[in-house]
Amino acid sequence: MNQRVLIVEDEFLIALDLGATVEAIGMQVAGIANNREQALRLAPSADIAFVDVNLADGRTGPELGRRLAEEHGLAVVFMTGNPETVAGGVRGAVGVVQKPVMPSLVEQLLKYLAARRVGRFAVVPAQMTVFT
C-alpha cells in the first residue's frame, strides 16, 4: 500500500490528526494544504486526496476535487461536515464522508482507495456515499 495522501483541510488540528492516521497505517502524507493553490502545487506528489468543501479561500473544495481527479489522476474523497453540499456528486471524485471522521474510517477509506487505484476488489466503507 505505497500510496501518498494529500490532505486538503483548513482546520490545522484536523489535518494533523488525519496525517497521523495516514502514517500509522503505513502510508505517506504527500502534504497538507489549506487552500486550492497549495493543493494544486502538491497534487503531482500524491495518489489520494482527502478534501474538505470549505477551505481557507472559500467553498473551493468541489472544484478543486474535480481538478485533482481529472487533471492529476488522484482518488478524491470529500470529508465535510455538510455532505449534502456535494450530494449530487463531483465529476471524477470517488465520494464523500461526513465529519467527524474516526481513524478507523480513515483506515477503511485508504484501504479501499488504494485497492481501487490498482484495480483490486475492495469493500466500500459503509459511511461513504459513493458518487456515480
CATH number for the domain including 49?
Answer: 3.40.50.2300
Q: Is the pLDDT of residue 40 over 60?
A: yes
Tens-place pLDDT, residues 100-112: 999 999 999 999 9
The total number of structural domains that make up the chain: 1
Q: What is the pLDDT of residue 1?
A: 55
Q: In whole angstroms, give the CA distance from residue 132 to residue 130.
A: 6
Please report, to the nearest 10 degrees, the dihedral formed by the alpha carbons of residues 50, 44, 1, 114 taken in order.
50
The distance in angstroms from the start CA to the end CA of the chain is 25
Q: What is the pLDDT of residue 2?
A: 82
Range(s) of the domain holding residue 10: 4-130
Q: In whole angstroms, give the CA distance from residue 130 to residue 38.
A: 26
If you average pLDDT over residues 29-48, what whole number do you get?
A: 98
Q: What is the pLDDT of residue 132?
A: 78
Q: What is the pLDDT of residue 130?
A: 96
If you average pLDDT over residues 68-81, what whole number do you get?
A: 97
